[in-house]
Structure 1
Amino acid sequence: MPHSESSGNSKTNYRFKHLACNSCRKRKLRCNGNRPLCKTCETTGRQCDWEDTLRKTGPRRGYVKSLEARLAEVESLLENQKFTGSDQGESRPVTDDDELVAIEHDLNGTLWDSCMPDYQPFGEAAKSLTDDVMQHSTSPEQDADIPSGKNAASWELCAVGLQEPLPSQEAIGELHQVFFEKIYPGAPIINKGRYLAAMSLPATSRLRPPVCLSYAIWCLAASVSPNYNAVTEHFYHRARKYIDVDEIAGRGHGVVTLAHMQAIAYLAAYETRMLYFPRAWLSVGRAVRLCHMMNLHRLDGAGFDVKEMLPSAMDWAELEERRRVFWAVFVHDRYQSLASGWPSVIDERDIATNLPASEQEFVTGKATRPSLSLQVAMTPDGIKNLNLFAATAMIAAVVGRTLTHLHRKEIDDGSLEEPDSAFRKRHDYLDTVLLKTLEYLPPQLQIGSSLLNPSAVQLHINIQASTICLHQAAISKAKSSPGNGFDLVESSMRCLGAAETMMTILRVVDATFMTKAGPWLPFCLYLAARVFVQELSEPHPVDTNKHSESLDLLMGMLRSMKARIPYTVTLLLQLERDISFFGTSNPIGHIVVPVDDITETLEQEKMAQV
């Protein structure tokens, strides 16, 4: 028996005293240690086999010391965060009243500089604010240049895919709150509940949103937040960087996700506002191509079998989110073409995706009525059932058709002098759609019921701007082809009526509307201002004082938006050129743009080009 053998050898007694047979150890049963057959196996009739060597348990050699070293390093970092030293070596406690609560520390010393060595977007004051906004990193990205030794703990954080610390949880929470209060209503393409729930998952979870989407959201939120405005460009560059990182990884499939589409769409909106127009134009083109790759343009239509790049939607809410992303890209595509005069990318004839459902249905995840196709939405019965997002997308489609109607000559256009020419038919059809839209909009979207909703106000301003574009196109065609039967007076009156309606809306809306309006509001205001400039340049203008007052008000609104939407400066510059052009033969003495504004506009435009 083991207890009687080698009684003088304590090690042998200790080893066999605590050794159980494999069968008892596996079943966690008491074993008396008798060999070759223990009492439990004898009773149960199981095979009793043994191992003469103990398996090693506990942490590997040196692991405890490694943990102690890492703990000391973390304690040192936390100690450094409690006090920030000044240049003279003085220290002060960091309080909750600091503008941004966090400290960005480079986990490998030079990782950020090596990633973007030429990127220095801030001055000293803004840089100090940036140094305060970022706190502990979830992890940096793997990099061959990361040193070992005392930064070994940082190396273990590399697997998540970040190259710098993320903002503190307090900053992230505040930025999310600002985004969903001020940005989301104008771009409702992300499911708030699912996004916030996924953000609470571990950083290594595949269900967590990609960091490029988070940075895009924080960028837009910071751009309208006084506390975080100085780090807006920081977030913007990081969002673009991580989109590129995902695109060049592997064979590029990492960027073919709905979250990356949302990130690119949000960045395109920011780039448009900030006068990064070439980037915005390319970002929208990139988003359109991704839409086509993921078949977002035909979610509700049967077609030829093609390779599916996305898995099937798990539920209706996810399908609706895909619809919303597509229509947001569609709206960007149409309005950027309107502002630039360049051809749009999405061909309306390829669209087989229904318009978005209502916001209430999207939030609850339950559809109460079938969604509408774009063709049905342009009929009176369809207009009656439009929601805010669907109406915005439908008006953007009218804008796109107006651009095609103006710039693309169809084979069946015929002579403009023919009253039944294809050009005249398209003009009359689009004009009818705009008039019917104003007549049949649901009660909650009528202008009298929606003055407190910035997005609904923007919708009505878009409708008036679309009317101006359509009839300006008719006037242009009529002047280029005299005797074509177009009534120039009627089209001019329709343009003037749309501009005056826009002014009526702007005079009664809440003042906060200007701070919440989307990036295309300045362009709509410019279209109205241009109509008043043309009216005032007539040989015998009517209501001169009224039009002059409206023009001054519009120019004041545009100047007030320069800081928040920098591309407004180019519209002011173009408006001054319009005033000079129309005033060459018919001077408008009472319309004066301050020289300081023009000088500032020119300087900002030069900086934008650089």
Structure 2
Amino acid sequence: MKTEMVSSSSPLAHSSRQRPGSACEECRRRKVRCDRQRPQCQVCYESGLECKISTARLPRGPRKGQLRTLRTRIAALERCLADQHPEINQQMTALLEGELDCDSDDETLRDMNGFRERTESPENRRAGTKSPRSPGSPRSGLVSELMRADLDQLYFDRVHPFAPILQRWRYHVWSKQQKKSEAQTCLQYAMWTVAASLSAQFRSLRDPLYQETRRMLDTLDTQGGRTEGAGIEQAQSWVLICIYEYMQLSPLQAWMSAGRCCRLVLGMRLYELDDPNNTVVMARDRETTLIDWTGLEERRRTFWMAYSLDRFISFHNGLPYTLNEQLIATRLPGPEEEFQAGQPVVTQYLPEVMMKTSTDAANPISSFSECIVLATICGRALAHRQKVAVEQISITGDAAVFEGFWTRHQWLHEMVNHHIQMLSSSPQVDPMLMFARIIAQTMVLFLHSVLESVTWKTGDHLLGIIEYERLCVAAAHEVVNLVKLQGQLGYFKVLFPPLCFVNESLTR
């Protein structure tokens, strides 16, 4: 019998548990322990089967879900290649139709064919062409799902601090919807464009994303017919594209885009969102429970961001701005914490803040509002210089004209000094406040350059001019210190580079 083949006194009985040799095929099939006896193991002896041993072993199979992941990636790559390289698309079509000899997995080919059948119409498959897409839709395959999540995170980490126009929770709600409007898709691409430009990982996507965004914006502009409640995403897209062009292309190109953005917000009447004489505003104030406070604040912030870009970029280029300060009846934006939490806050109007002097009991305003005030001062300083140039041409040596110039100049200096003191006493280390401090000191340098451009000085004002020169020297030292502090904070923690404003004032 088989049991007699191995006795208890056999030395094999006292060997290690892992006997030498390999398990037989029958034990492997049954998934039982093989005693590895030769010429026949116990299982094969009792079953009356031949005990076969195979030394060639098949490799272990892939991990769970690996094939599905690979098929998904193949489908995504096929879509990307089909859009970017038509010749490769033809080869893939021939492969899937069996014209090329390739040892591919049948199930993988079926999945890829199924993907093509879901994304292409029968007519296009027979004609060998791609599925048509609407003029406002983006190019497929440019940004994958995983890249979208990373770019969204980059946007809110690095772009939102200096362009706070989106409520994060609100964006994530509509961005996950399957069907989005063309304006919403355009806004996403604008967000990803600026985010990619501030990331070494996605720097290669910067130009393709920008081109796609501009193409979609041009398509949306040709459609027209926007109402007050629609197209806010389109305006937000123009805001972000202005910032991108200012940082990466040229200030002049950004100025052209800022003009289109300002015309759009004017057409949407965002400059009178809180006009107390407007019937819509009066009805809104009576039914406060029905107000979409988050959407209203987004529209406010979009307008004020367009207003700030209009002032800053026009100031840099020395060109007239578009938006008229005298027509604005929209409240200043609220604090960032309340905005992200969706809490309504009643803020001041811009004229109320601009009329305050250093002796007034100043109520604290948000960092964004402080930048808006500095943008307004930039606009008035630019208009002040442009008016001086006209006055010197038209009327030379007129005392009344010079007194009017001096009154404007003193008022601008008082406003700048007032905000410099407020910003210096602020304990916050905020990117927008840092930018506001640099702009405020830059205004001192700019106003001094305006004084030097005046040809009809009088002796009564020479002492005042000497005092302004002393303030100018102190402001230059402060700008240098702030720029050094900006370098310590890092490039991504400060508003889009304000050094151009500094350089312009220093060169003048």
TM-score for both structures, normalised by structure 1: 0.58
* 1:398 aligned partner, one-letter code: I
Tell me, in whole angstroms, the C-alpha distance in 1 between the residues paired with 2:412 and 2:318.
Answer: 19
Q: Deviations over 1:81-133 (max 9, x none)?
A: 4599xxxxxxxxxxxxxxxx99723259659x9xxxxxxxxxxxxxxxxxxxx
Q: Deviations over 1:470-506 (max 9, x none)?
A: 22212322x4545472533222212111111122333
Q: Is the 8 A contact 1:468 1:527 kept in 2?
A: no
Matched, 1:262 2:236: yes
Tell me, in whole angstroms, the C-alpha distance in 1 between the residues paired with 2:397 and 2:441.
Answer: 29
Residue 147 of structure 1: SS of its match in structure 2? helix
Q: Is the 8 A contact 2:189 2:212 kept in 1?
A: yes
Post-superposition shift, 1:468?
A: 1.6
Q: Is the 8 A contact 2:226 2:268 kept in 1?
A: no
1:322 corresponds to which residue? 299
Tell me, in whole angstroms, the C-alpha distance in 1 between the residues paired with 2:78 and 2:450.
Answer: 54
TM-score for both structures, normalised by structure 2: 0.69
Tell me, in whole angstroms, the C-alpha distance in 2 between the residues paired with 1:364 and 1:228.
Answer: 30
Q: Deviations over 1:571-590 (max 9, x none)?
A: xxxx6xx8xxxxxxxxxxxx
Residue number among 233, 247, 252 corresponding to 2:207 in the alignment: 233
Q: Is the 8 A contact 1:215 1:238 kept in 2?
A: yes
Provide closer, same or farther for how the CA distance between residues 195 and 102 of structure 1 changes in structure 2, counting only shifts above 3 A. farther
Residue number among 488, 493, 496 corresponding to 1:519 in the alignment: 496
Q: Is the 8 A contact 1:434 1:463 kept in 2?
A: yes
Q: Is the 8 A contact 2:251 2:317 kept in 1?
A: no
* 1:228 aligned partner, one-letter code: F
2:192 corresponds to which residue? 218
Tell me, in whole angstroms, the C-alpha distance in 1 between the residues paired with 2:446 and 2:269.
Answer: 31
Residue number among 397, 400, 417 corresponding to 2:379 in the alignment: 400
2:403 corresponds to which residue? 421
* 1:513 aligned partner, one-letter code: G
Residue number among 322, 328, 332 corresponding to 1:355 in the alignment: 332
Post-superposition shift, 1:163?
A: 3.4
Post-superposition shift, 1:305?
A: 7.8
Tell me, in whole angstroms, the C-alpha distance in 2 between the residues paired with 1:376 and 1:270.
Answer: 32
Note the 1:27-426 alignment, pairs <5 A. Answer: 79=71, 81=73, 104-107=80-83, 110=86, 147-149=124-126, 155=131, 161-202=137-178, 204-206=179-181, 210-249=184-223, 257-302=231-276, 314-368=291-345, 370-378=346-354, 379-380=356-357, 381=360, 383-408=362-387, 417=399, 421-426=403-408
Residue number among 427, 450, 453 corresponding to 1:473 in the alignment: 450
Matched, 1:462 2:439: yes
1:495 corresponds to which residue? 472
Q: Deviations over 1:53-100 (max 9, x none)?
A: xxxxxxxxxxxxxxxxxxxxxx9996494599xxxxxxxxxxxxxxxx
* 2:216 aligned partner, one-letter code: Y
Provide closer, same or farther for how the CA distance between residues 363 and 406 of structure 1 changes in structure 2, counting only shifts above 3 A. same
Tell me, in whole angstroms, the C-alpha distance in 1 between the residues paired with 2:208 and 2:229.
Answer: 21
* 1:230 aligned partner, one-letter code: S
Q: Is the 8 A contact 1:243 1:255 kept in 2?
A: no
Provide closer, same or farther for how the CA distance between residues 235 and 510 of structure 1 changes in structure 2, counting only shifts above 3 A. same
* 1:352 aligned partner, one-letter code: A
Tell me, in whole angstroms, the C-alpha distance in 2 between the residues paired with 1:463 and 1:353.
Answer: 24
Tell me, in whole angstroms, the C-alpha distance in 1 between the residues paired with 2:382 and 2:265.
Answer: 22
Tell me, in whole angstroms, the C-alpha distance in 2 between the residues paired with 1:405 and 1:156.
Answer: 54
Q: Is the 8 A contact 1:317 1:362 kept in 2?
A: yes
Q: Is the 8 A contact 1:102 1:167 kept in 2?
A: no
Provide closer, same or farther for how the CA distance between residues 255 and 78 of structure 1 changes in structure 2, counting only shifts above 3 A. farther
Residue identity over aligned pairs, in percent, reads 23
Tell me, in whole angstroms, the C-alpha distance in 2 between the residues paired with 1:402 and 1:250.
Answer: 35
Uncovered stretches (5+) of structure 1, i.e. residues with no partner? 1-74, 85-100, 114-137, 307-311, 531-574, 579-610
1:14 corresponds to which residue? none
Post-superposition shift, 1:462?
A: 0.9
Post-superposition shift, 1:464?
A: 0.6
Matched, 1:449 2:431: no
Residue 352 of structure 1: SS of its match in structure 2? coil
Residue number among 387, 411, 414 corresponding to 1:432 in the alignment: 414
Tell me, in whole angstroms, the C-alpha distance in 2 between the residues paired with 1:319 and 1:250.
Answer: 22
Provide closer, same or farther for how the CA distance between residues 231 and 430 of structure 1 changes in structure 2, counting only shifts above 3 A. same
Provide closer, same or farther for how the CA distance between residues 497 and 327 of structure 1 changes in structure 2, counting only shifts above 3 A. same
Provide closer, same or farther for how the CA distance between residues 110 and 495 of structure 1 changes in structure 2, counting only shifts above 3 A. farther
Q: Is the 8 A contact 1:211 1:239 kept in 2?
A: no
Tell me, in whole angstroms, the C-alpha distance in 1 between the residues paired with 2:152 and 2:205.
Answer: 15
Decide which structure has the larger Cα Rg and report it: 2
Post-superposition shift, 1:372?
A: 0.9
Residue number among 476, 482, 492 corresponding to 1:505 in the alignment: 482
The structure carrying a bigger helix percent of its residues is: 2
Provide closer, same or farther for how the CA distance between residues 521 and 242 of structure 1 changes in structure 2, counting only shifts above 3 A. same
Tell which has more relative contact order, 1 or 2 (C-alpha 8 A, sep 6+). Answer: 2
Residue 364 of structure 2: SS of its match in structure 1? coil
* 1:453 aligned partner, one-letter code: D
Post-superposition shift, 1:519?
A: 2.8
Alignment RMSD: 4.0
Residue 104 of structure 1: SS of its match in structure 2? helix
Tell me, in whole angstroms, the C-alpha distance in 2 between the residues paired with 1:222 and 1:347.
Answer: 33
Uncovered stretches (5+) of structure 2, i.e. residues with no partner? 1-66, 90-114, 281-286
Q: Is the 8 A contact 2:186 2:217 kept in 1?
A: yes
* 1:470 aligned partner, one-letter code: L
Provide closer, same or farther for how the CA distance between residues 463 and 158 of structure 1 changes in structure 2, counting only shifts above 3 A. closer
Post-superposition shift, 1:270?
A: 0.7
* 2:412 aligned partner, one-letter code: L
Q: Deviations over 1:182-208 (max 9, x none)?
A: 111001011111111111111x245x8
Tell me, in whole angstroms, the C-alpha distance in 2 between the residues paired with 1:151 and 1:357.
Answer: 55
Provide closer, same or farther for how the CA distance between residues 254 and 349 of structure 1 changes in structure 2, counting only shifts above 3 A. closer
Q: Which moved more, 1:156-165 or 1:280-289?
A: 156-165
Provide closer, same or farther for how the CA distance between residues 159 and 350 of structure 1 changes in structure 2, counting only shifts above 3 A. closer
Provide closer, same or farther for how the CA distance between residues 522 and 232 of structure 1 changes in structure 2, counting only shifts above 3 A. same
Provide closer, same or farther for how the CA distance between residues 394 and 158 of structure 1 changes in structure 2, counting only shifts above 3 A. closer
Residue 124 of structure 2: SS of its match in structure 1? coil
Tell me, in whole angstroms, the C-alpha distance in 2 between the residues paired with 1:304 and 1:504.
Answer: 47
Residue 432 of structure 1: SS of its match in structure 2? helix
Post-superposition shift, 1:346?
A: 1.0
Post-superposition shift, 1:277?
A: 3.2
Tell me, in whole angstroms, the C-alpha distance in 2 between the residues paired with 1:485 and 1:143.
Answer: 77
Post-superposition shift, 1:249?
A: 3.6
Residue 511 of structure 1: SS of its match in structure 2? helix
Tell me, in whole angstroms, the C-alpha distance in 1 between the residues paired with 2:395 and 2:343.
Answer: 45
Post-superposition shift, 1:209?
A: 5.8
